[in-house]
Amino acid sequence: MKRVVIVGGGFAGLAAAGILSRRGKNLETALVDRRQCFNFLPLLPDVLGRGIPAGLMAYPFKDICSGLKARFIQDIAQAVSPDGRSLHLGSGLNIDCDYLLLACGTETDFHGNVSLSESTYKLDNVSDALKLRQALEIGCYDNYLVAGGGYTGIEIASNLSLFLREKRRRSRIIIVEKSPSILGPLPEWMKVYVKDDLAACGIEVKTGLSVTETRAGRSVLSDGSVFGKSIVVWAAGVKTPDFIDRIPARRTPQGRLKVDECLRISRTCFAAGDNACLSAGQGCLRMSVQFAITQGESCARNILNDMDSLPPREYRTFDPGYIIPMANDRACGIIFGLPVRGILPVFMHYLLCVWRNRGMKNRIRLALLLLKKAVR
């Protein structure tokens, strides 16, 4: 009997568990996650503006794992033995394994600023989204600052704008981006499209600046400007969890583990999803659900190949594209190499969300809710 341990029950970890579950005999799979439920991250910003219930984005691992014939262990992975055959958990438990898959994703990076991590909001999981929604409901601010002008920051800002419009509150929403432009390396037409949409929603964009401090509702930017009665949502970068940083392996500056073309760190230790980066060829791929799923599946197939003494297969990417959805029912992106914009990519984004969500009830309720909102 061989034992596979998967750390992280996100898109990559669950995709791997799905493939492994088909083997049945001679294989025991354990999934370790610090949370009780799978969190569907792409819909988190919609908790703020569109008012999608957070419950539709969480699904108990216990139920998922029973369907996948895997054992679920709710615990925090803390260390891996040098040979990658033993995992040390926060509860003090050690689990031995024949194969280890690291699929821990990433989390918000405050770049070591403890004060900002304590005084701002983030959107890493369902409880963060609920906490922020609650703060928006009870607080009344003059300034809503979003630190970071990547796709997450833009989605958050557009949802804040929808929230304020529905509550008939008039306040400033400002995206503060450190680089000279929003959306970093994305094509120029996309930046222009998004900027126009943000402006139409009344959202200001300040580039070349960062939020340096926020205390008791007073936020300060790097040029010294001060915003009173403010709330800050931090979306200015991600990093791998501390556990990944402690693994003796090569890493990128964001902490992503460098893997070979078969997604391996060693013969029996694999990494997939946001916490992995191909060390050659395609290099670090965009952090996305699509790549997390296909990498998780690829790792699982290579584990089964190794068990059968077959050679591993190289991970080959298929990139169908990406979409940047905004809460004003407009989006832009690249689909199969073609630029798309307007309402169609919004529809595609939510269709994918319904399809990729966990639990039939969640999917049906989400689809009905989105349909109702679309009709309205």
Ligand X SMILES: Cc1cc2nc3c(=O)[nH]c(=O)nc-3n(C[C@H](O)[C@H](O)[C@H](O)COP(=O)(O)OP(=O)(O)OC[C@H]3O[C@@H](n4cnc5c(N)ncnc54)[C@H](O)[C@@H]3O)c2cc1C
Using the minimum distance from each CB to ligand X, give the nearer residue, 212 or 317.
Answer: 317
Using the minimum distance from each CB to ligand X, give the nearer residue, 68 or 221.
Answer: 68
Between residue 4 and residue 33, which ones bind ligand X under the rule CB under 6 A?
Answer: 7-13, 32-33
* Least separation in angstroms between CB 35 and ligand X: 4
In the chain, the N- to C-terminal Cα span, in Å, equals 55
304 binds ligand X (CB under 6 A): no
Residue with tokens 């556990």: 243
Using the minimum distance from each CB to ligand X, give the nearer residue, 176 or 238.
Answer: 238
Using the minimum distance from each CB to ligand X, give the nearer residue, 221 or 269.
Answer: 269
Give yes or no for a contact between 27 and 20, defined as CB atoms under 8 angstroms apart: yes
Region of 335 (left: φ > 0; alpha: ψ -120 to 50; beta: rest) is beta
* Least separation in angstroms between CB 190 and ligand X: 15
User: Which pair of tokens denotes residue 12?
Assistant: 């990559």
Using the minimum distance from each CB to ligand X, give the nearer residue, 123 or 278.
Answer: 123
Between residue 110 and residue 149, which ones bind ligand X under the rule CB under 6 A?
Answer: 123
* CA distances from residue 89 to 30, 39, 59 in whole angstroms, order as listed: 13, 21, 23
Rounded-to-integer distance, Cα 293 and Cα 274, Å? 10
Q: Which amino acid is at 51?
A: G
290 binds ligand X (CB under 6 A): yes
Q: Which amino acid is at 368?
A: L
Binds ligand X (CB under 6 A): choice among 21, 179, 279, 288: 288
* Least separation in angstroms between CB 211 and ligand X: 18
Neighbours of 138 (CB within 10 A): 7
* Least separation in angstroms between CB 102 and ligand X: 9
289 binds ligand X (CB under 6 A): yes
Between residue 37 and residue 76, which ones bind ligand X under the rule CB under 6 A?
Answer: 41-42, 44-45, 76
Using the minimum distance from each CB to ligand X, give the nearer residue, 77 or 231.
Answer: 77
Instruction: Name the one range near ligand X by CB under 6 A: 19-27, 187-195, 224-232, 286-294.
Output: 286-294
Which helix (DSSP H) or strand (DSSP E) does residue 370 occupy?
helix 360-375
Instruction: Name the one range near ligand X by CB under 6 A: 3-11, 172-180, 216-224, 336-344.
Output: 3-11
Rounded-to-integer distance, Cα 269 and Cα 100, Å? 5
Enumerate the β-bridge partners of residue 331.
325, 342
Q: Which value, to the nearest 10 degrees, does the dihedral of the CA atoms of residues 221, 227, 232, 234 take?
A: -10
Between residue 233 and residue 262, which ones bind ligand X under the rule CB under 6 A?
Answer: 241, 243
CB-nearest residue to ligand X: 10
From the list 133, 173, 195, the residue with the least C-alpha distance to 330 is 195
What are the residues binding ligand X (CB under 6 A)? 7-13, 32-35, 41-42, 44-45, 76-77, 103-105, 123, 152, 241, 243, 273-274, 287-290, 292
